[in-house]
Structure 1
Amino acid sequence: MGKKGGGSVSRVKTHEEVPSENDGVKLTGVLSTDLVALCEHERLPLIIVKPLRPSVPVADSSGEAVAEDTPSSKFAVLADWEDPDDPSTLHTLHMRGWLLSEKTLSILTEALSSFTRLHVLNLWNVGLTATTLHSVLTLAIQLNISALYLDGNTLSPEPLVELLTHKTSVELLSLKCCQLSDVFISQLTPALTDNRNLLHLDLSCNSLTDNGLIFLAAALRLNRTLLSLTLTNNSIGDEGVEALAEVLSEFPLNHEEVVMKRVMDSLQVRTDDGQSESGRSILSRERSASTASVDKRGGKSQASKSRKDAKKDEKGKKDDKGRKGGDSKKASREKETKSSKKGAEVTEEPVQSDPPLESRSPLLEAKKNGDQWLLPGNSALVFLGLSYNNISECGIASLLTTVRYQTSVFTAQAPGLLALTLHHNHLVPPTSSMLATLHDLLEQRNPLKVAETDPVIDTVESGT
């Protein structure tokens, strides 16, 4: 295994032709030990583990630092633990700047399988392919990774669409410096529209233009989960900003959304306790009940079979009453109870497993205004990063109108934009009055009252 583009890549491929028999490697639960053992077993270059936050060097009696007894290797992963003295508390893993081959990834997957507290996975510039990207996303789902950094890799959209489509634990997705285009974003848009897990998305340092932001704005029409969107250092101009500003303010539904709303309204019913139940929930329950009621062989429901089994058990219990003692009665009761529970599970489980998504759909909040349906703007997005783009005062005017609308309409529970970065948009003069007004409004809305120079949550500033 070698660095990306290095001459040792072919040598690694020769190693990968060796058949794997990892069954002979007994994992210890100590990442450094397990990685060395697996690499030696597969005859691959060693992967060593280094602390993400190096400890203070230990000095001997003469005052000189004592070197750590660590195997020598040019392939290292950086790790961090909640408790440095407990190797099972691994929660962060970084790989930086060397080729992650399929064989190496399989070794990492096996070594990490027992670390249930691992939540941050950072794979910067590791040469991901479509195959290894799919494997990485599968690993992230299996380990319940909450923060996934794929910066510096050339990515294919299909595995990411699959990640965004399914319910996962990934709340932060960083795709910085991945050469993403507007077409790439257009392929993510449908999945991002329906996503209910992702809170933070970083698309900085890519090749996005106005069209890319227009696609993202389309996703945010109905997405009410994303809290933070960072688009620093792209090629976004006023047209894209105006499209996003419209979605953050009150906007009219398009034809497709009107049709979806009418379907939801027509299927919405009231349950006995007054709670709203969605059309999808009803239809799914009916399909599940129908499927459960028809047996593949005889057309009999599993619930009916369970009841018949219970009756047979009861009959057998009566026939054997004079011949068997208390143990037989107990066994019959247990069997009858088990059959009854099985029948109950068949009828109840599909209802519990189906979340009523439409009941949370923002389309249900739309109000009729003349011949249009108007929907309150997206109030979930609280941070927007637009520094180092091509925005002029026209785009600033759109954002100012949006913030004024949100200030007058939105509540503290869903406040809308609280922080916005716009510095180094060279088309905006530093003396812009609209920029100053926008700055003042956001400073009043920011509940943390942070300074302008705060690198995490910054208010609007401008520069040349």
Structure 2
Amino acid sequence: MSRKKQAKEKANQDDEASKNSGLTVNEAIPAQTFDEYQCTGNMEIDFPVLCALLNMKSIPEICSKQPDFCTETETAETEAEDTDDNQSQINASHLWSKPCINVELENEDPLSAKRVKISGWKVNKQLFRVLQKMLPSMNQLLSIQFWQAGLTDQMVISLTNTASLCSSLRAVTLEGNHLLEQSFHLLLSEGSVLTHLSLRNNRIGAEGARLIGSALSTSTTANKTLLSLNLTFNSVGDAGAAHFARGLRLNRTLLFLSLANNQIGDSGAALLAEVLGEFPLNHEEVVERRKLLLQRANALSFRADSEQLSTSQLGSTQNMSLSVSKGDNKGISKKKETSRKDVKTPEIKEKPQKKASDVKPTLGKGGKSGGKDRQSSTQEDKSSTSLNEAELVEAVNPLLEQLVHHKDGQLFLPGNTTLASLNLAGNRITERSLPLFLAALETQEDEERCLLRLCLQRNLFPAESSCYMKIKDLTDGLVKISSETMEEEGRGA
């Protein structure tokens, strides 16, 4: 009897869980294949069903919690980000005793999942396939985090493709996942929708930095969505800093960049400081600027020719209409004269009617001119579109900024005036690099202050350095960045 009672209680629990999602037990586990299964958006239902369809025997537990329940854990994680390398690489076993997928809900609705976190256990191919299938159906999902989850390059590539199918997903955190082929840069592709990305402690190195720097911008391409990028603890060194400096040259979207604890010395710091102030364009950038200027000139010329053509067509249409109106007036005047001379001759009265009918084809020709007007209007719309595209290129591409100027035989760009926060704490920067950052900040102050936060703590110069104090005076107190914004920068969420 006890076994029957237990089975009955379990069935009741299944029924209750299915009621929350509007499904019965039979509907929740249909007899179909993995690919045919239609996800409901409720992770507690979809996850075990999909795992069962793949014949997975041991599956992680789904832990759904509302924000208040997750506050303590999140606070501990946020505080851990400001610690040293040893703390950042600490094993997650003390947080998770067994594999578990943590789901943060917006409210009591099981379909209101905002964040998904996987921490401290390895995700295999089958499990990642299940996650990849579920994510697009979770319409309110904002961020997903994989911390020390053993991801592979293929998994990151799949995640890049899946992110584009998620209507709300904008933040991805991949920390403690070493990739052999350094595929992280794919998350910053031109078609990416991500606004926050955290790649802490992934051993990215100089090669990974090169790929990510190129994804930020080149002379012909640039990421236009990412707002914050956290690359703390990746040992990129001076070579990696040089790649990131190149990526910041023509990127005008990124607001927050953290390169803390990356073994960056004076040579890398000098390149980062240079890109904050005005710098000369290289050969590739000069060539690309000339191409853009030529495209803009062609667009303007096309519009001028189209306007001239439409004006001439309009003039001919007006002349045609005028000739038609004159013909009408002549017909009317002749009719009056005839009626005056031959009032007693009724047969002649038909002639003015015939002439009036003869005028109708002339009016028809005038009617055709309306089609020409529509044609000219279409041409104007096309030319206007071409000009708008040229103006858009001019507004977006830094190479066409009005402040580009000649000096000493070179073209100079004002520099990156978009970046608001740069974190270089915990590196190997000495006092020799400080005047370069100070000069860049003073240049921005003359134009328009954009870099509001420059973190240089825990480097190889004394805290009482006069140059460092001036840098702090220029950046401190300008804008107090909220704790929420700082948390987003650190966590990429």
| TM-score bracket for the superposition, by shorter chain length | 0.5 to 0.7
Q: Which residue of 1 aligns with 2:49?
A: 37
Tell me, what secondary structure is at the counterpart of 1:87?
coil
Q: Specify the alignment match of 2:271 in structure 1.
A: 243
Change (3 A) 1:150 1:205: same
Summarize deviations over 1:27-72 as a string: whole Å, max 9, x none.
4432112212222333321232213557679xxxxxxxxxxxxxx9
- Hey, what does 1:86 align to over in structure 2? 109
Structure exhibiting the larger radius of gyration computed from Cα positions: 2
In the alignment, structure 1 residue 132 sits paired with structure 2 residue 128: no
Aligned counterpart in structure 1 of residue 396 of structure 2, from 360, 371, 380: 360
What does 1:32-431 correspond to in 2, within 5 Å? 32-44=44-56, 45-51=58-64, 74-82=98-106, 84-144=107-167, 145-156=169-180, 159-193=183-217, 194-269=222-297, 356-357=392-393, 359-365=395-401, 366-410=404-448, 415-425=449-459, 427-431=460-464
What's the TM-score, normalizing by structure 1? 0.67
* Residues 282-322 of structure 1: CA deviation (Å, up to 9, x unaligned): xxxxxxxxxxxxxxxxxxxxxxxxxxxxxxxxxxxxxxxxx
Name the % identity: 31
Contact 1:175-1:202 within 8 A present in 2 as well:
yes
Query: Any unmatched runs of 5+ in structure 2?
Result: 1-31, 71-95, 305-377
Q: Contact 1:35/1:46 (CA < 8 Å) preserved in 2?
A: no
Offset at residue 140 of structure 1 (A)? 1.7
State the 1:358 CA deviation.
Answer: 5.3
Q: Is the partner of 2:289 in helix, strand or coil?
A: helix
Deviation per CA, 1:394-447, whole angstroms, max 9, x where unpaired?
12221111111111112xxxx32101211111x211221111111111124x22
Q: Secondary structure at the match of 1:216?
A: helix
CA distance in 1, matches of 2:275, 2:248: 7
Q: Deviations over 1:168-206 (max 9, x none)?
A: 210111110000111221123322101111111111011
| Residue in structure 1 matched with residue 8 of structure 2 by the alignment | none
Structure 2 length normalisation: TM-score? Answer: 0.64
Partners of 1:399 and 1:275 in 2: CA distance: 45
Aligned residues of 2:67 and 2:104 also touching (Cα < 8 A): no
| Alignment deviations for residues 83-123 of structure 1 (CA, whole Å, 9 cap, x no partner) | x2212221111111111112111112223331121120101
Q: Which residue of structure 1 lines up, in the alignment, with residue 25 of structure 2?
A: none
Distance of aligned partners of 1:99 and 1:255 in 2 relative to their CA distance in 1, 3 Å threshold? same
The amino acid across from 1:183 in the alignment is E
Match of 2:473 in 1: 440
Q: Distance in 1 between matches of 2:487 and 2:128?
A: 32
SS of 1:105's partner is helix
Cα offset for 1:146? 0.7
- Name the CA shift for 1:179/1:53 in 2 (closer, same or farther; >3 Å): farther
| Higher helix proportion (structure 1 or 2) | 2
- In the comparison of the two structures, how many residue pairs are matched? 345
Change (3 A) 1:455 1:164: closer
Whichever residue aligns with residue 152 of structure 2, its letter is: T
**Aligned partners of 1:179 and 1:206 also within 8 Å:** yes
**Cα distance, 1:370 vs structure 2:** 4.1
